[in-house]
């Protein structure tokens, strides 16, 4: 009996000294549908995937059209401008945003970054997406800031034959976990 108690105590001690498992990422997806005059719907989306290990988030924002047959791209006479604001919940956190779309610009403005992307013409669904990375840094310590919420809000103006519309904002929020 003493051996059993000693063995159980040893297992309990090992469990107490083992750090708890930490979830590798926290993510959030947001989607907004807006009716279009041609009978389709404009779908805008914002996705965040934050990683506790290195204090960074991956983001994807974009748009497409939904028809009765599913998701499709845009007509060949498309011109659109997507604006995305990425900001932290804490003003003492700096978010460094890097976007990878062909026609995007990142404007850094203190606590938030603005990503503007221009899309023209038809193409595959991936053409109408901006993908990038967000690095989080605490102004106080210079280390990754892991106790904040990252907020990504996007809207898009879409213009093609018979359509000129701006979507409402679509916002995703994620914490580091």
Query: Over the chain, what is the mean pLDDT?
Result: 84
pLDDT(5) > 90:
no
Domains and CATH numbers, the chain: 24-175 (2.60.40)
Distance CA 161, CA 170 (A): 24
pLDDT tens digits along 65-80: 999 889 998 999 999 9
Cα–Cα distances in angstroms (integers) from residue 2 to residues 5, 11, 12, 15, 153, in the given order = 5, 14, 15, 20, 61
pLDDT tens digits along 125-141: 899 999 999 999 998 99
Give mean pLDDT, residues 146-170.
Answer: 95
pLDDT(109) > 90:
no
Give mean pLDDT, residues 99-119.
Answer: 78
**Which of 17-31, 52-66, 106-120, 132-146 is the least confident region?**
17-31
Give residue 101's pLDDT band: very low, low, confident or very high (50, 70, 90): low
Q: What's the pLDDT score for residue 110?
A: 66
Distance CA 54, CA 100 (A): 20
């Amino acid at each position: 009996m003493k051996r059993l108690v000693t063995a159980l105590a040893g297992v309990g001690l090992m469990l107490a000294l083992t750090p708890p498992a930490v979830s590798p990422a926290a993510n959030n997806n947001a989607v907004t549908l807006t009716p279009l005059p041609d009978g389709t719907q404009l779908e805008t989306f914002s996705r965040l995937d934050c990683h506790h290990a290195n204090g960074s988030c991956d983001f994807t924002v974009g748009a497409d059209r939904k028809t009765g047959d599913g998701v499709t791209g845009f007509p060949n006479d498309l011109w659109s401008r997507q604006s995305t604001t990425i900001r932290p919940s804490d003003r003492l956190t700096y978010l460094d945003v890097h976007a990878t779309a062909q026609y995007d610009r990142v404007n850094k403005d203190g606590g938030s970054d603005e990503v503007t992307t221009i899309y023209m013409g038809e193409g595959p669904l991936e053409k109408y997406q901006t993908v990038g990375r967000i690095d989080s840094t605490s102004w106080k310590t210079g280390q990754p800031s892991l106790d904040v919420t990252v907020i990504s809000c996007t809207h898009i103006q879409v213009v093609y034959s018979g359509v000129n519309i701006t979507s409402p904002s679509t916002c995703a929020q994620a914490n580091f976990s």
